[in-house]
Structure 1
Amino acid sequence: MSDFFKGLSKVKYEGSESKNPLAYRHYNKDEIVAGKRMEDHIRPAIAYWHTFAAEGGDPFGGRTFDRPWYDKGMEGAKLKAEVAFEFFDLLDVPFFCFHDVDIAPEGATLAESNKNVREIGDIFAKKMEQTGTKLLWGTANLFSNRRYMAGAATNPDPDVFAYAAGQVKNVLELTHELGGQNYVLWGGREGYETLLNTKVGHEADQMARFLHLVIDHAKKIGFDGTILIEPKPQEPSKHQYDFDVATVYGFLQRYGLEKEVKCNIEVGHAFLAGHSFEHELAIASSLGMLGSVDANRNDLQSGWDTDQFPNNAGEMALAFYYILKQGGLGKGGFNFDAKVRRQSLDPADLLYGHIGGLDTLARGLKGAAALIADGEFDRLLDERYAGWDSGMGKDILAGKLSLAEIADRVHAENINPQPRSGRQEYLENLVNRFV
């Protein structure tokens, strides 16, 4: 046991009237919502990087946090692992996620780096067996080290591609051995800074080849989890090739991979792409691509990815609407890819952020379930598109009518459609009724 969270006790559900800042007011993991435990709907996970590796820096300033494991090499990594599992227990959450460099320091060579990761992985395995905590997903950091300044899979240097492949192989295998339910590929620098020195077609071929290699190796080792791509439009690169869900799907379809990979969708990344979170969920679900979620938000007055904890239950209700309508996230979950602010220095601040985030998810989940159970929202949506269920509309979608035949029918039946209200304000009010 460490003393990092000394004096803090396990967070419990106390109900909406509680004034205890270290208690859940809405997140009751065993509450049955839409026929399933709340925890089984949300499947919450703690992000190892923001929670234990983040230093409080932003684009204009460095470290503000003072953690006892900083700059302590492998001994610090072991202490960090101890603290991490204490935190998982305090919050009573079932999952966590990690990058390789979050859990262990890089060595002088790939072999040394991978050995360090494996050593901490052995500690994880013992802790997971003791506590029952599970791994939602693992991933490799292919963007922080200067070797990746021009990308990893899309780097003009094949040696960088090869190094990244060796890094991913190690983390994919460790994820499999730890029972991880997904593996995520986030192309932090898979894009370009300027077209002046970039062959975009060549880099797309490289990226596809890398993805094929990962999928093939996952099958070879018996990994039956989901391979996920996490879209982001820019930052750190000027333009990233996994811009949004639709872009990712087009890329996968071009290379015959659309049935092999799903998306891990982040709120903040959707916002940077000019979309809402629910837009990305709706598109992903419609394409059969919705795999998992990173829960956070961005500051609307800042131009970068601020990764703040979610706090808008209304928006989260719309998100859960699409998740529930597709039958849940399957092997995915809600990873808190969120960090406390650089002035939030105390260990308790880590608890406050996650408590608030889980309460927001709980409110959104219950709101979405109530909205669906009420039926009015779906009824109005179905009513708006009812013309496509029969007659000419049905024949058009079935490909039974040519363009000329459709035009002839308009003339023969004197079709002269009049606009109908989209009822946006009414629908907004209807959603808010259940939050």
Structure 2
Amino acid sequence: MALIGDKEYFKGIGEIKFEGKDSDNPFAYKYYNPDQVVAGKTMREHFKFAVAYWHTFCGQGADPFGPGTQNFPWDEPSDAIDAAKAKADAAFEFITKLGVDYYCFHDFDLIQEGATFTESEKRISAIVDILKGKQAESGVKLLWGTANCFSNPRYMNGASTNPDFNVLARAGGQIKLALDATIALNGENYVFWGGREGYMSLLNTDLKRELDHMGRFLGMARDYARSQGFKGNFFIEPKPMEPMKHQYDFDSATVVGFLNQYGLQDDFKLNLEFNHATLASHTMQHEMEVAAAHGMLGSLDANRGDYQNGWDTDQFPNNITEITEAMITFLQAGGLQGGGVNFDAKIRRNSTDMDDVFHAHIGGIDIFARGLITADKILTSSSYESLRKKRYSSFDTGKGGDFENGKLDFKDLYEIAKENGELDLQSGKQELFENIINQYI
């Protein structure tokens, strides 16, 4: 494997390879064999694993109580373009050593925002040229791009939902540049995460007007990208709150309703995050089931929350039961529509060695591979599917079948209820289903 850049940042670490579950090598995959076929596809095809530029190469471990603890050597150059090039060198070295095929970014993860809009545009153009070379040299691809329209103080009241039109217009200009960059880098998708698209107080908020503005804004962004030849998917990433008290992309069901209300359902799908599901008091399997039921299961952000903390901790995934249940839905839905599995996760503040980021990603990739293998065995070798189908068997034939096929009216239901009289209880067998999951794990 050739070094992608002028300097080696992760010294002493070679390409991470599959060695099997009996391996004791901390720099090897125990379950992720990219060429192993599961349910008709290789693991590489199923997952399309991606590295998140922001957490892995930008986050430094800061929290509300103290500054960062991770000092990255690629942050040393003082010139913005030199620093961006160094970061790109480190990123593509890491991604190629990890052996994954994709990365994801926000615009100003790639390069520091300029003092003016014009300077920012020049900087984005410069880093895009650098990344084109990196992609060509390494074979690494862009899963999706997005714009950070939430960190800068100008977006304190939102971007497309801001009560000041000039801020909305600035967001439009910034997202145009991010779309242009994504298209130039052959990005397969584009994500909208409304980091501050919501409210802190309803007292000063015209909620309907803000929702209308967001719907119109997203339609305009779609139309622009399509006019530039972009054929990929647009994703919206649900999150219920934080940083705002309430965010308009609360959960899967809310986003599905929003997309249908504003006529965006044919172009937009969902990018779902595990930690965001937790914050919405859902499981990730729930969020995936809702999206899949509407044909909008687009992509996944892989992480987990701390179940004792009520905020977005973005830890690397390690819960085999949670991942297995998500992979059951993943396989039943036929996989993702356009997207992949992006590790929107960060190492802990007290993980300060350069190899810690490898251990984190190796563990995250392995837990998904193990969950996929387990889910496939549950669906193909256990009684799980037959038990589930049996629970709904009264709708397969007879009057139940007539109901599903639209052949009954409400008076018919009345007559059937009258004729049946009192009914026997039908057990949901929940404990048996849970035991099947545990048996195969």
Given the two structures, how large is their TM-score scaled by the length of structure 2? 0.96
1:64-79 equivalence runs, <5 A: 64-70=69-75, 72=78, 73-79=80-86
Q: Which amino acid aligns with 2:431?
A: E
Runs of 5+ consecutive residues of structure 1 not aligned to the other structure: none
Deviations 1:306-352 (A, max 9, x none): 00000012211111111111211132100000000011111100100
What is the aligned partner in structure 1 of residue 219 from structure 2?
212
C-alpha distance in 1 between matches for 2:34 and 2:174: 36
- Say which is worse superposed, 211-220 or 111-120, in terms of deviation: 111-120
What is the aligned partner in structure 2 of residue 136 from structure 1?
143
What is the aligned partner in structure 2 of residue 295 from structure 1?
302
Q: Does the CA contact (< 8 Å) of 2:240 and 2:279 recur in 1?
A: yes
C-alpha distance in 2 between matches for 1:209 and 1:140: 18
What is the aligned partner in structure 2 of residue 16 from structure 1?
21
How far off is 1:414 after superposition? Answer: 3.1
Identity %: 50
Q: Does the CA contact (< 8 Å) of 2:48 and 2:340 recur in 1?
A: yes
Q: Which amino acid aligns with 1:106?
A: E
How far off is 1:47 after superposition? Answer: 0.1
Q: Does the CA contact (< 8 Å) of 2:235 and 2:269 recur in 1?
A: yes
What is the aligned partner in structure 1 of residue 169 from structure 2?
162
C-alpha distance in 2 between matches for 1:414 and 1:98: 59
Q: Does the CA contact (< 8 Å) of 2:8 and 2:93 recur in 1?
A: no
Q: Does the CA contact (< 8 Å) of 1:68 and 1:76 recur in 2?
A: no
C-alpha distance in 2 between matches for 1:294 and 1:30: 22
In the alignment, is residue 259 of structure 1 matched against residue 277 of structure 2? Answer: no
Alignment partner for residue 421 of structure 1, among 417, 423, 427? 427
Deviations 1:361-404 (A, max 9, x none): 00011011111112521111110011112222222233332222
What is the aligned partner in structure 2 of residue 49 from structure 1?
54
What is the aligned partner in structure 1 of residue 200 from structure 2?
193
Deviations 1:200-228 (A, max 9, x none): 01100110011001110121011011000
Q: Which amino acid aligns with 1:429?
A: N
What is the aligned partner in structure 2 of residue 81 from structure 1?
88
Give the secondary-structure state (helix, strand or coil) at the position aligned to 2:75: coil
C-alpha distance in 2 between matches for 1:240 and 1:59: 21
- Deviating above 6 A after TM superposition, structure 1's stretches of 4 or more consecutive aligned residues are none
In the alignment, is residue 36 of structure 1 matched against residue 49 of structure 2? Answer: no
Give the secondary-structure state (helix, strand or coil) at the position aligned to 2:160: coil
Q: Does the CA contact (< 8 Å) of 2:74 and 2:90 recur in 1?
A: no
C-alpha distance in 1 between matches for 2:67 and 2:259: 38
C-alpha distance in 1 between matches for 2:27 and 2:58: 23
Give the secondary-structure state (helix, strand or coil) at the position aligned to 2:330: helix
C-alpha distance in 2 between matches for 1:205 and 1:414: 49
C-alpha distance in 1 between matches for 2:99 and 2:384: 34
Deviations 1:121-158 (A, max 9, x none): 11111111111101000000010000000000000011
C-alpha distance in 1 between matches for 2:72 and 2:229: 38
Q: Does the CA contact (< 8 Å) of 1:27 and 1:362 recur in 2?
A: yes
Deviations 1:21-43 (A, max 9, x none): 11111111111111211111111
What is the aligned partner in structure 1 of residue 3 from structure 2?
none
| Equivalences, count | 434
- Say which is worse superposed, 201-210 or 58-67, in terms of deviation: 58-67
Q: Which amino acid aligns with 1:25?
A: K
In the alignment, is residue 235 of structure 1 matched against residue 259 of structure 2? Answer: no
Give the secondary-structure state (helix, strand or coil) at the position aligned to 2:74: coil
Q: Does the CA contact (< 8 Å) of 2:288 and 2:326 recur in 1?
A: yes
What is the root-mean-square deviation of aligned Cα atoms in Å? 1.2
Runs of 5+ consecutive residues of structure 2 not aligned to the other structure: 1-5
Alignment partner for residue 90 of structure 1, among 79, 97, 111? 97
Q: Which amino acid aligns with 2:440?
A: F
How far off is 1:255 after superposition? Answer: 1.1
How far off is 1:60 after superposition? Answer: 2.5
